[in-house]
Amino acid sequence: MISIQNLTRKYGDVVAVRDVSLEIRRGEIVGLLGHNGAGKTTMMKVITGYLEPTAGDVTVDGLDVVAHRNEAQQKLGYLPESAPLYPEMLVHEYLRLIGELRRMRHERIDQAIADAAFQTGLTDHLESPIATLSKGYRQRVGLAQAILHKPDVLVLDEPTNGLDPVQIQSIRDLIQRLGKTTTIILSTHILQEVEAVCDRVLVMINGRLVADSPLAELLHSDTIRLCVARGADVRRIAGTVDGVSKVERVGPADRDGFEWWSITPAGGANPTAEILQAGMKAGWTIDAIGHENLTLDTVYQRIQQAHVAQVEAA
């Protein structure tokens, strides 16, 4: 659906996006993560045709976003971080203007406005001046204009910015529903949001794409965590179990006298049962054993640390 090949975008001497290549399939919900200035917004603007690449190619459904910008943009819906709204207009007037600018047939516009308003919770605010809306409802208006023409691709830059928890959940539910038929690229600083709605995660650092993985694979860990009463000879006994390559204690014992150990399997092995059996035979008091539960926050920090270490080593 979206093909990016060797994309580079410069602002003068500053390289905002550096030699990025990736493919996004129809129906994927992709989370785009990175620090401020990582190049996320620049890449989204190139995908949507608002900026031209300095080098490389971007196509949407086979259409080059430079050579066939208007045709490509007909397939795109875009919500920038700060949606450009006209505060003096009523909500339905603004959405009608967007429909006309998109050259939608007049007989379609009324129904499209009603559908977009229903999906974004704006039905009771269509007659309201945009200037009177809260920040959260203005964000909903921005989202409504992005989905008005039922695009094949939806590009969302911080879509829940300014929303309260109830509104955030409503927008997440909407993104998941839209993702059944629409390709979605979602940029956000809220990692829980990516965990809640995305199938795949892209991580950018300093303009480079440093990670591209399905979310489930990114959060998977073979590492075994063991919580056992202090005094157990974990390093020696677990270290002799087949399929174990490394045994480390993780921090001091807690007030109840239990300590956590990290056990790294070798070659994709899963020696959990063997470790449990060996520990019981040795008389350990085991409180918990199982695979490490990773969060996206933990993985994101590890990716950043690994990139910094790689740069320093170079």
* pLDDT at site 228: 95
State the Cα–Cα distance between residues 128 and 124, nearest whole angstrom: 8
State the Cα–Cα distance between residues 17 and 94, nearest whole angstrom: 33
Q: Which of 49, 79, 80 is nearest to 63 (CA)?
A: 49
Mean pLDDT within 94-103: 95
How would residue 285 be classed by pLDDT, with cut points 50, 70 and 90?
very high
* pLDDT at site 5: 97
* pLDDT at site 215: 95
* pLDDT at site 3: 97
User: Does one domain contain both 182 and 226?
Assistant: no
Q: Which residue has the higher pLDDT, 267 or 80?
A: 80
- The mean-pLDDT minimum among 35-39, 55-59, 242-246 falls in 35-39
Instruction: Report whether 274 contacts 241 (CB < 8 A).
Output: yes
On the question of pLDDT at 51 being above 90, the answer is yes
User: Does one domain contain both 211 and 230?
Assistant: no
What is the extent of the structural domain holding 146?
Answer: 2-218
On the question of pLDDT at 166 being above 90, the answer is no
Radius of gyration for the chain, computed over Cα atoms and rounded to the nearest angstrom = 25
Q: Which of 77, 47, 61 is nearest to 149 (CA)?
A: 77
* pLDDT at site 28: 95
* pLDDT at site 168: 86
- The mean-pLDDT minimum among 81-95, 152-166, 264-278 falls in 152-166
The per-residue pLDDT of the chain, averaged, comes to 93
User: Does one domain contain both 54 and 108?
Assistant: yes
Mean pLDDT within 39-56: 95
User: Does one domain contain both 135 and 62?
Assistant: yes
Q: Which of 163, 191, 218 is the last residue of a domain?
A: 218
On the question of pLDDT at 110 being above 90, the answer is yes
User: Does one domain contain both 40 and 172?
Assistant: yes
Q: Which of 174, 203, 218 is the last residue of a domain?
A: 218
Counting residues of the chain whose pLDDT is more than 70, the rounded percentage is 100
| Residue 311 included in any domain | no
Mean pLDDT within 49-69: 96
State the Cα–Cα distance between residues 14 and 298, nearest whole angstrom: 30
State the Cα–Cα distance between residues 116 and 313, nearest whole angstrom: 51
* pLDDT at site 136: 84
* pLDDT at site 170: 84
Q: Which of 59, 68, 44 is nearest to 3 (CA)?
A: 59
* pLDDT at site 273: 95
- The mean-pLDDT minimum among 92-96, 104-108, 257-261, 280-284 falls in 104-108
User: Does one domain contain both 27 and 133?
Assistant: yes
On the question of pLDDT at 62 being above 90, the answer is yes
Mean pLDDT within 251-263: 91
| Residue 151 included in any domain | yes
Q: What is the pLDDT of residues 223-239, one digit of tens each?
A: 999 999 999 999 999 99
| Residue 310 included in any domain | no
CA distances from 125 to 92, 101, 118, 128, 251 (A): 8, 22, 10, 5, 54
- The mean-pLDDT minimum among 4-13, 74-83, 88-97 falls in 74-83
On the question of pLDDT at 210 being above 90, the answer is yes
* pLDDT at site 219: 92
